[in-house]
Structure 1
Amino acid sequence: MTFHTAALPAATLSGQGTRLDVQPDLVAAEGFPEAAASDIGEAEVDMHGVKTRGEGSEGASTSRGFGDKGGKSNPGALRFRERIMIDRVFEELGLDKLSAQVGGIGKKVRHHVNPLRAEFQVKTPPPVWADVFADPSLPLHVDIGCAQGRFVLTLAKRSEGATNFLGLEIRSQLVERANRWSAGLELRNAHFLVANATISLDSILATYPGPLTYVTILCPDPHFKNRVKNRRVVQPSLVEAICQKLVPGGKVFVQSDVLEVADDMKYQIQAAGGTWLSLAGEHARTDQCTPQGWLLESPLGVPTERETFAVANGESIYRALFVRNEREFRCIGDLEKDAEGQKSQVV
């Protein structure tokens, strides 16, 4: 699978231990003087402290920026180089020029947000679908935790109006800019909402008139510490909401650059959704998976911002694809009641 960009050398996203083949000279420090960091024009999401996590050691990490020399770097210069790399990977969108027209995000955005704060415990209502999509009857792809939205915008552009794309993100500044980007690109099949998907996905999708055919959860916030793991986005309630709306044959694609997080997402989906979701057939093919069972490539052919940067730094990406089966959905509570009823009859 190859990124579609003319500005970069051929770049591939693959399985464990693979790299995005970007020439360091493209973003080397000497190519962008420190003063250039002030010319960014907007404060991007802070990605310059890339973490290299030690497997089996919770929270063990070392900061490593792309193009670092001797472990020392200028944060502003690193942020500038990272933006150059991201802009080139997503060059087909032309966001570098569009951002000058629609404006930036105004201030630095926090990378880690606590979704359990009171303001994020209120369910997000659905939009008026006819106001946000040209044709609300089209199949819907939902990207949970869409960050800056380039992944969603690229898919929407390439689909040529055949599918609607909805990005859900908890950070409002990113959503506001992503919607300005979408409007500037004249995409009537892409929209972004501020939402805590863990509690709001069911309410958002309740009125969508078309079929839900795809859900992606890509490189979510890892929330490493044991005491905050309940902040992770993939919880039983989210899996149940997905299973309830996803059509038979629909897909759920998850990935992370943190093995423990990928394992946890896979466990949560199989535990809460195992009755309705099964690993895709690709996982049975040794030519498409690592020995540990992770997909070597993304089935969608488009990277996220975090994925691009992680692989460029030599980090691994762990991917899993699930398919919705034909079994009629019933909420977990009803299944438990049925099981209890069967037990009492046996006794």
Structure 2
Amino acid sequence: MGHNDTARSSNYLGIDVHKALLDRANGWAAARGLSGNVSYVQANVVVSAAAILGSYPGRRVRLVSIQYPDPQQRRRRHVVGRQLVAALAEVLPPGCQVYLNSDFEDTATYMRNCFECFGSQHFEIDAAAHAPGATFPCSAMLQPVRPDLVGRPRAARANAATSRPESGSVSGSESEGGSVSDGSGSGSEEAEIVDEEEVDMLQWRGRWREAGWLLRNPVGAPTEREVYVELATKQQVYRVMLVRR
């Protein structure tokens, strides 16, 4: 986005917890002469979003992007939840857009549902972006990763999860160059534990799902992950654009 902004009319800030990813992104910005307008910082966005965005002069933030957090089955605690929604509602000005996307529909659904459940008085679907012909429908119903663990006491769920043979640890972030992104890798044992609140958000039947998913990237600057998913693997990306009331 910064590269396409030839007039240098905006500043772009990326947030992630992985230093190696940030160093690479800052190196790219410097190589393109964008260091004065593009920067990436290491922080936990859930904890730091309000302080970082609230410190911007005049709070003239126009877009927040939360892109490709770790998939639903690899997250015990999600980036998007009540705390982040409340923080963004506090500091974002009216008209500011919030762009959510993932190549996993359950992850995108969870993020969208959190904003609707915890912040519908502050945010709404961007009707201009979700115009007729610009979307495809959401799946009718998504299933939790381990239905047999849902509703069981936390200790029982953990015991059931860890009693299975280990399949190795998966770590790393799916985040790629978002304006506000975060991800922390989690091992296979965490992947088996499904909290009741997570299931509630995934199965929660709000009205925003009627708006569907966007067919195309609405900001005109795909991430590496997006290019790989759509061009190399021919898979679907699930996108939704919200706007601050």
**TM-score normalised by length of structure 2:** 0.65
The 3-state SS of whatever aligns with 2:93 is: strand
Aligned to 1:182: 29
Q: Any gaps of 5 or more consecutive residues in structure 1? A: 1-154, 326-347
1:320 aligns with 2:240: yes
How does 1:189-268 map onto structure 2 within 5 Å?
189-210=37-58, 211-225=60-74, 228-230=75-77, 232-268=78-114
> Per-residue deviation at 1:245?
1.5
Q: Deviations over 1:1-50 (max 9, x none)?
A: xxxxxxxxxxxxxxxxxxxxxxxxxxxxxxxxxxxxxxxxxxxxxxxxxx
Task: List structure 1 runs of 4+ shifted beyond 4 angstroms.
Answer: none
Following TM superposition, by how much is the alpha carbon of 1:223 offset from its aligned partner in structure 2, in angstroms? Answer: 4.2
Where in structure 2 are the equivalents of 1:1-347 lying within 5 Å?
155-160=1-6, 161-187=8-34, 188-210=36-58, 211-225=60-74, 228-230=75-77, 232-282=78-128, 285-292=131-138, 293-312=212-231, 313-325=233-245
* C-alpha distance after superposition, 1:88-146 (max 9, x if no partner): xxxxxxxxxxxxxxxxxxxxxxxxxxxxxxxxxxxxxxxxxxxxxxxxxxxxxxxxxxx
Gaps in structure 2 of 5+ consecutive residues: 139-211
- Please give the alpha-carbon distance, in whole angstroms, between the structure 2 residues aligned to 1:314 and 1:184: 30
Report how far residue 217 of structure 1 moved. Answer: 0.9
Aligned residues of 1:282 and 1:295 also touching (Cα < 8 A):
no
- Name the CA distance, whole Å, in 2 between partners of 1:278 and 1:206: 21
Equivalent pair of 2:100/2:108 in contact (CA under 8 Å):
yes
Question: In 2, distance between residues paired with 1:156 and 1:302?
Answer: 9
Q: Counterparts of 1:300 and 1:283 in 2: how far apart (Å)?
A: 10
RMSD, aligned α-carbons: 1.5
Verify the 8 A CA contact 1:283 1:294 in the aligned structure 2.
no
Contact kept in structure 1, 2:130 and 2:214, CA below 8 Å: no
Spell out, residue by residue over 1:202-253, the C-alpha distance to the aligned partner (whole angstroms, 9 max, x if none). Answer: 122232114111100112111415xx431x2111111111111111111001
Larger Rg: 1
The 3-state SS of whatever aligns with 2:101 is: strand
When residues 165 and 284 of structure 1 are mapped into structure 2, their CA distance, relative to the original with a 3 A threshold, is: closer
1:310-341 deviation line (CA, Å, top 9, x unaligned): 1120211111110111xxxxxxxxxxxxxxxx
Report the Cα distance in structure 2 between the residues aligned to 1:223 and 1:297, rounded to whole angstroms. Answer: 22
**Is 2:16–2:41's contact at 8 Å kept on the other side of the alignment?**
yes
Q: Which amino acid aligns with 1:185?
A: R
Higher RCO (CA 8 Å, separation ≥ 6 residues): 2
Does the 8 Å contact 1:175/1:193 carry over to 2?
yes
CA pair 204-284 structure 1, distance change in 2 beyond 3 A? closer
Residue 67 of structure 2 aligns to which amino acid in structure 1? L
Structure 1 residue aligned with 2:157: none
